[in-house]
Structure 1
Amino acid sequence: MKKSNQTLIANVARSLRSSIAAATLGAGALALPSAALAVDFAGDRIEMVMPFKEGGGSDTWGRFYAPLVAEQLPGGPVMVVKNIPGGGSTSGANQFQLRAKPDGRDVLASSASTMFPYILGDSRVRYDYKDWAAVLASPTGGVVYVSADLGIDSVADLAKLKGQDLKFASQGATSMDLVTLLALDLLDMDVKAVFGMKGRGEGRLAFERGEVNIDAQTTSAFIKKVQPLVDEGKAIPLFSYGVLGKDGKIKRDPNFPNLPHFVEAYEMVHGEAPNSEAFRAWKSFFIAGYAAQKGLFLPKGTPEEVVQAYSEAVAKVIAKPGFETEAEDVLGNYEQAVGGDAQMMFAEALKIDDAAKAWIIDWLNSRYSAGLEPSAD
């Protein structure tokens, strides 16, 4: 009888282990046993380096995510935002590269303003994106539009703009406006840049006053501020920049499904797909400026189990019921990229080859007197 009971207990134990294993596999990737389970931040203070001043878009993004991610990290630590502005965000990123400890208690919030100087080889840059591990990428979108006074109805009519006085109000050729200026150039549009704008909001106001006749706005600004102009017949949308698919290809923006993305616009104008140094440069800056505009990074040498713990924490944040509604004003209607997907996006942005990098620097210097050092690659 004793032996029979031992056999019964052993069988029950085996059955229980099998049930637990099956349930774990069925629960999805986040429930799988992992090295991340050994990570514990209980009682810790995690510092998010924010290389921008308080109150801006990146700061708002970081302060939105910080408590949500901290709550989901093992041990539920506190995450605080440390603003280190200066040098167009290079100062804070430089400090992060130099001082961040690879134990998960230091993270960096990056934006397009941090990536553009890196890609262009800015002399102020002392950081290397290739050293860091991305755990989150937040995309945004954008739309280029023109004044209805130009007499065209869509991007298919661009040939009608030949010889017209085209103006675009810009913050600067090496700012996020680079994406717009290069896109217009690739579409053979002879556009004069009017520099000195403090933001895209100023550019839109210049458009509304009739001082310029071409403008570009991010998705949220376009929907809130420009769509009414479209409805009134005062503005004509030409194309969106699109979004980056998981296959690395540009696809239509889900917010503007009836509007061609830039690659489609290029094909409509030129009759073939883009495949030049100029386009390869544009794609890198499009990803850095829009498709993966903001990102959360861990420093060089961070153990894989810590990177995994962060990736899982971000995934849990995004999967929580009600997250999309809560995040709409900050993130827009865009899918957040986590872990491997985020790493793919930033890798695509950094794929710019030597020829494309040399081309864009020469173009910026010759066209806009940007004063950039020739590429040393």
Structure 2
Amino acid sequence: MSISNFTRRTALALGAVGITLSTALPGAAQDVSFEGETIEWLIPFSAGGGSDTWARFLAPFLTKHLPGNPSVQVVNEPGGGSTKGANLFAARAEPDGLTILGTSGSTQFPYLLGDPRVRYDYADWTVVMATPTGGVVYTTPNTGVESADQIGKLEGQDLIYASQGATSLDLVPLLGFRLMGLDVRHVFGFQGRGDGRLAFERGEVNIDYQTSSAYLQNVQPLVDEGIAIPLFSWGALDDDGNIVRDPTFPDMPSYVEAYEMVNGEPPSGEEFEAYKAFFVAGFPAQKMTFLPEGTDQSIIDAYKQAFVDIQADPEFQETKGATIGDYQLATGDAAQTLYEQGTRVRPEVRQSVVDLLTSEYDVTLD
């Protein structure tokens, strides 16, 4: 479905579009029903990547738990490292509850770095759910690596990575590989991580990563066939803010462990602090769902409650691990906290990364 469908909602008219708002009692919260409606869940990435997999898994549960049981259709609008779709959402989405946006670190990072393509402001939107996630880095057996504990064999090799762009979520591997000391050539311009995986399958690149959902669905079969060799996960944060093993991949080394395998000591210093800042924004606070500016509180509350109900749904709990990983949906205050972590970075950290991108990768953010 084309994003041009946004244009059918040219005015805010809650009753006119078929959303029912009724007050059960004077002063009580309004009840919302989306019966007979279609919700468009805009994903600013190509099909097959982690964000697309995440949204398509959750969409039926959203249908089940939103009042009125509307159809929920995922709409892919890739381009500009996800800024194209986010810009369209900011410009055209009506505050009627019929359009929601799913963002990723690749949407957060251009915003954090002051990318001139960004014409959206996270402060204008309301977060209704956030999902921490992880990611797994893998290579091809053509590198001579047969298991994660042989990652040191990658030193000195000419590695090629298919990147969405230096200000996308692929900033995490860019900073991480560089800090680790691996010689990786980043080929910019891919439309999504799904496209990066396809480039890996075609043999055009020899190192890649996918977020947990896409890895479980699309890369694990490649691992089973011996086509891909998992190296490490980016990891997760413990209660003290330390990077530890990802609960979805407990048998896989974290980035910190992999770094130590290559360098003989754990990472430290200013470059590691910059890496960690964007890792936190990109993974523990990665995927979020938003309603546009001006949305009525009753609609916001309906969405928030729907995601609370999804979290409590036994079917969701039983099936999520194989598709999106062993992560819980963050709702309410927890979602707000992740939103704040994922859309803010210290100015000095931002500037250090901007300077690096300019000097080392000829990326200018003006």
Written as runs of structure 1 = structure 2, the 5 A alignment for 1:240-279 is 240-245=233-238, 248-266=241-259, 269=263, 271-276=265-270, 278-279=271-272
Q: Match of 2:201?
A: 205
Separation (CA, whole Å) in 1 of partners of 2:38 and 2:319:
23
Q: Match of 1:41?
A: 32
Written as runs of structure 1 = structure 2, the 5 A alignment for 1:218-233 is 218=211, 219-220=215-216, 221-229=218-226
Please state which structure has a larger fraction of its residues in helix.
1
Shift of 1:316: 0.9
Q: Which amino acid aligns with 1:39?
A: Q
Post-superposition Cα deviations, 1:306-347, rounded to whole Å, max 9, x if no partner, equal 544422211211221222444456423433322322332232
Q: Match of 2:19?
A: none
Q: Match of 1:135?
A: 128
Separation (CA, whole Å) in 1 of partners of 2:30 and 2:245:
39
Indicate if the aligned counterparts of 1:242 and 1:250 stay in contact, CA closer than 8 A.
yes
Q: Which amino acid aligns with 1:201?
A: R
Indicate if the aligned counterparts of 2:235 and 2:246 stay in contact, CA closer than 8 A.
yes
Q: Match of 1:7?
A: none
Q: Match of 2:346?
A: 353
Shift of 1:304: 5.7
323, 329, 332: which is aligned to 1:336? 329
Separation (CA, whole Å) in 1 of partners of 2:149 and 2:319:
38
Q: Match of 2:103?
A: 110
CA distance 1:61–1:237, change in 2 (3 Å): closer
Separation (CA, whole Å) in 1 of partners of 2:41 and 2:205:
38
Indicate if the aligned counterparts of 1:166 and 1:212 stay in contact, CA closer than 8 A.
no
Separation (CA, whole Å) in 2 of partners of 1:113 and 1:332:
19
What is the TM-score of this pair, normalised by structure 1? 0.70
CA distance 1:124–1:332, change in 2 (3 Å): same
Indicate if the aligned counterparts of 1:287 and 1:345 stay in contact, CA closer than 8 A.
no
Shift of 1:241: 0.5
CA distance 1:344–1:283, change in 2 (3 Å): farther
Separation (CA, whole Å) in 2 of partners of 1:356 and 1:315:
34
Q: What are the ranges of 5 or more consecutive residues in structure 2 without an aligned counterpart?
A: 1-26
Shift of 1:267: 5.2
Superposed CA RMSD in Å reads 3.8
Separation (CA, whole Å) in 2 of partners of 1:195 and 1:99:
28
Q: Match of 1:317?
A: 310
- The alignment partner of 1:41 has SS state of strand
Post-superposition Cα deviations, 1:100-127, rounded to whole Å, max 9, x if no partner, equal 4556454322234422322232222121
- The alignment partner of 1:186 has SS state of helix
Separation (CA, whole Å) in 1 of partners of 2:190 and 2:91:
33
Separation (CA, whole Å) in 1 of partners of 2:177 and 2:68:
48
Does residue 125 of structure 2 align to residue 120 of structure 1? no
CA distance 1:299–1:193, change in 2 (3 Å): closer
Q: Match of 2:90?
A: 97
Q: Match of 2:365?
A: 372
- Identical aligned residues as a percent: 41
CA distance 1:284–1:46, change in 2 (3 Å): farther
Q: What are the ranges of 5 or more consecutive residues in structure 1 without an aligned counterpart?
A: 1-35
Q: Which amino acid aligns with 1:283?
A: K
Separation (CA, whole Å) in 1 of partners of 2:258 and 2:94:
45
Shift of 1:356: 1.6
Separation (CA, whole Å) in 1 of partners of 2:152 and 2:34:
63
Q: Which amino acid aligns with 1:205?
A: E
Does residue 77 of structure 2 align to residue 85 of structure 1? yes
Separation (CA, whole Å) in 2 of partners of 1:68 and 1:150:
41
What is the TM-score of this pair, normalised by structure 2? 0.72
Q: Match of 1:31?
A: none
CA distance 1:339–1:267, change in 2 (3 Å): farther
Q: Which has the larger radius of gyration?
A: 1
